[in-house]
Amino acid sequence: MNYPIQPVPSSQVALKDNFWKPRIDINRHVTVPFGFKMCEETGRIDNFKIAAGLKEGSFSSVFPFDDSDVYKLIEGASYVLEQEYDPSLDMFLDSVVFYIGAAQEDDGYLQTWRIIDPGKPGDDWWGERERWTSLMHGHELYNVGHLYEAAAAHYYATGKKSLLDIALKNADLVAQTFGPDKSIAVPGHEEIEIGLIKLYRITGKEHYLELAKFFVDQRGLKENRELWGEYHQDHMPVRDQRKAVGHAVRAGYLYSAMADLAAYTGDFSYLPALDSIWSDVVHTKMYITGGIGASRNGEAFGAPYELPNAEAYAETCAAIANVFWNQRMFLLSGDGKYYDVLERTLYNGLLSGVSQSGDRFFYPNPLYSDGHTAFNYGRATRQEWFPCACCPSNISRFMPAVPAYIYGVKKDTLYVNLYATNTAEIRTDDLDLEIQQVTDYPWGGKVFLHIEQRKRNDLVLALRIPGWAVNRPVPGDLYVVNNPVGNQPEILVNGQKISPDVNQGYVFIGLNGKKEENIELFLPMEIQKIRAHPEVKENAGQIALQRGPLVYCFEEADNGEIIDRLKITAEDTPEAVESENFEGIQEIRFTSGDLEIRAIPYYLWSNRGENKMTVWFAGE
C-alpha cells in the first residue's frame, strides 16, 4: 500500500528561480552551518561525546529534546548533500554520526541526558530515573523520531548505513519495549510515528509500521492507562477526535502520521477524524498567513476564531507541521484545497520563520508588533537562536525539501502543484518526460510549461488553479475577498486557448502522446482586500492585502509611526511596485490622504530590526 499520488523527489527537480533557489542556497551556505555551530557552542554535540565517554562533563544544555536539533540539522544537511555533493559536509556528517554511534548504549538506547546522568531527574522535564518512565515530558520517543528521519535522509543522500544502523538498532529496542503485550504507553510529543514509517519505507519491515500504528491507536484509550489530556491529543481515541486541540506541533505531527497510516496500511478509518479536524483548523483556527496554534498558553490551538494578532503564537514548527500534514492529505485525495492551505503557509507563516540572511529566526510569528513587546523569546525582532531551538533546526531541514512539493504523479497524471522556474525529470512506470517551468511567480502570474516526452505516452497534466486566483483565499469562509477580481485564470495549450474546467482545484489537460507540448497559464495577480469572518473579533472592520499567494504587511521602517492609523477606502487603488529596499520584491503602494503607504510581503518583515508591523488595518 502507498499514497495514490507520489511526490516527485527534490533530487529530480532542479530549481532555477529567483524566489526559492536563493533561499535554499542561503539555507545551504548559512542556516545549516550556523545551526551546527550553535549546536557546538551550546553543548548539543558535546552531549553525544560526553555520553560516549569521549569527553568529561555534564549534560550541558537546557531541554531534554536538545538531541533532536542535531538530528534535524543532519536531516537538513543530508538534503543539501543530495542536491549538490560537498565532500567536506559529507565528512563533517560522518564525524557527528560517529559521536552519535559512540553515545548509543549496547542495546540501542540513545538519549544523551539520561545516558550522561540518569540521576538528573527531578522536575517535570527530566522525569524519573528509569528509562521510559517520563514519556509525558521527557521526549525520549520524540528525539529518536527525529533520529529516524535524519537517518532516512542521510541514507538516501549518501547511501551510507552508518546513521541508519544506529536508528534501526534504537527502533528495534523501542519495538521490543512497546506494544500490545509490552509497555502500553504513548509518546508525550508525537514524532516517532513519522520516523518509524520512514524506517519501514526503507527496510520494508512491517514491525516499524505496526509500532507507529500502535502508538497512534493507543492515544486516548482510557482502559489501559491514565490519559494525559487534550494538550497531548490524548483525550479520546484518535478516530473519535473531531477538533484540533492542544499543542499544535504535536497535533500536526500526529495528523501527518494518521495520514501516513491510512496510506501505508489501507486503514481508512482515520479519514473521518482527519477530514473533520482539518475543517476545524481551516474554517476556524488558522491565520491568514497559514499559521496555526494561536495560543501562547501551551503553544496550542485556541478556541474557534480565537486568532489574536499581537499575541499570535503561530510557531514556525507548527507551520512546518501544517505543510507536512496538508501535503499528505493531498497525496491521499488529489484535492487542491490542501495545496491552497499548504501554499499559503509556505509563502507566509512558514517562510517568515527565517530571515533573509538565514541566521535569524522567529519562533512565534505574530501578525502585529508594537515594536517593543518582546514576543520572540526576549526580543521584538528575530533572534539568532533560542534555548529551545526547535524552530531554527526545523527550518534547516524544511527549506531544502521545498522542490519536493512542486510536482506529484499518479499513473499518467502529472500534478503541477506549485509554480517556480525549474526543470524536472519524471520517470515512472507510466511516464518518462522532462518538464520545464518558466515563471516569475509569486511576483507575476504567467507560467510557461514545456513538456518533452521521451517515451510517448498519454499524459494528463493537472494544473493547480490556486484558490486565491478564483477569489477563494481559503477553503471555507474564515477569510473572504472584499473586492473580488473579475479576471479569471486562462490556459493556452500549444497556442490554443482552452476553457478551463476546474475540478477539485485542478484543470486536467489530456495531452495525447505528442513529443513536445507548450502550455501557458495566466493567473490574475490583482491585489485582493481580504476580510476575516465576523467571529474573529480583533479583525472587525479591518482588511489585509494579498497579491498572488503572498500576504502583505506594513512596517514602521517604510511608513513611520502611522502604522496604527492606517486606513484604506473602497476607492483607494493599491498598486504593485518594484521595491527600492528589497531587491526583486514587489511591494504594494497606495495613497491615503497625502501619505504614500507601502506594504511588503509578510515573510520579509523584521529584517530591519525592531519595528512596528501590522497585517490587518482599517479598511474596506
Residues in the site for ligand FUB, rule: CB under 6 A? 65, 189, 249, 299, 315, 317, 388, 390
In whole angstroms, how close is the CB of 251 to Zn ion at the nearest point? 13
Grid cell locating 122: 527531578
Q: In this structure, are residues 238 and 220 in contact, taking their beta carbons and an 8 Å threshold? A: yes
Element (DSSP H or E) covering residue 496: strand 496-498
C-alpha to C-alpha distance for 480 and 461, rounded to whole angstroms: 29
Coil vs helix vs strand at 43: coil
CB atoms near residue 494 (< 10 Å): 11
Looking from the CA of 575 toward its CB, the CA atoms found within 13 Å total 7
C-alpha to C-alpha distance for 253 and 192, rounded to whole angstroms: 9
Binding flag, residue 251, Zn ion (CB under 5 A): no
Segment interacting with Zn ion, rule: CB under 5 A, options 129-137, 183-191, 310-318, 415-423: 310-318
Q: Which of the listed partners (ligand FUB, Zn ion, none) does 65 bind, with a CB threshold of 5 to 8 Å by partner kind?
A: ligand FUB
In whole angstroms, how close is the CB of 315 to ligand FUB at the nearest point? 5
Phi and psi at 183, nearest 5°, equal -75, 125
Q: In this structure, are residues 577 and 329 in contact, taking their beta carbons and an 8 Å threshold? A: no
Reference 50, options 128, 111, 92, 109; nearest CA is 111
Angle, CA of 489, 495 and 499, to the nearest 5°: 40
Q: In this structure, are residues 204 and 112 in contact, taking their beta carbons and an 8 Å threshold? A: no
In whole angstroms, how close is the CB of 249 to Zn ion at the nearest point? 6
Segment interacting with Zn ion, rule: CB under 5 A, options 229-237, 386-394, 541-549, 572-580: 386-394
In whole angstroms, how close is the CB of 189 to Zn ion at the nearest point? 11
Q: Which of the listed partners (Zn ion, ligand FUB, none) does 299 bind, with a CB threshold of 5 to 8 Å by partner kind?
A: ligand FUB
Got the DSSP string for 46-76?
Answer: HHHHHHTTSS-----SSSTTHHHHHHHHHHH
In whole angstroms, how close is the CB of 123 to ligand FUB at the nearest point? 15
Segment interacting with Zn ion, rule: CB under 5 A, options 198-206, 232-240, 314-322, 600-608: 314-322
Q: Which of the listed partners (Zn ion, ligand FUB, none) does 189 bind, with a CB threshold of 5 to 8 Å by partner kind?
A: ligand FUB
Q: Which of the listed partners (ligand FUB, Zn ion, none) does 227 bind, with a CB threshold of 5 to 8 Å by partner kind?
A: none
Binding flag, residue 390, Zn ion (CB under 5 A): yes
In whole angstroms, how close is the CB of 294 to ligand FUB at the nearest point? 13
Binding flag, residue 135, Zn ion (CB under 5 A): no
In whole angstroms, how close is the CB of 391 to ligand FUB at the nearest point? 8
C-alpha to C-alpha distance for 598 and 585, rounded to whole angstroms: 12
Between residues 323 and 390, which has the closer beta carbon with respect to ligand FUB? 390
In whole angstroms, how close is the CB of 392 to Zn ion at the nearest point? 8
Q: Which of the listed partners (Zn ion, ligand FUB, none) does 110 bind, with a CB threshold of 5 to 8 Å by partner kind?
A: none
Q: Which residue is nearest to Zn ion (CB)?
A: 317
Q: In this structure, are residues 161 and 87 in contact, taking their beta carbons and an 8 Å threshold? A: no
Binding flag, residue 389, Zn ion (CB under 5 A): no
Grid cell locating 310: 499581537
Q: Which residue is nearest to ligand FUB (CB)?
A: 249
> Which residues of the shown chain bind Zn ion in the complex (CB under 5 A)?
315, 317, 390-391
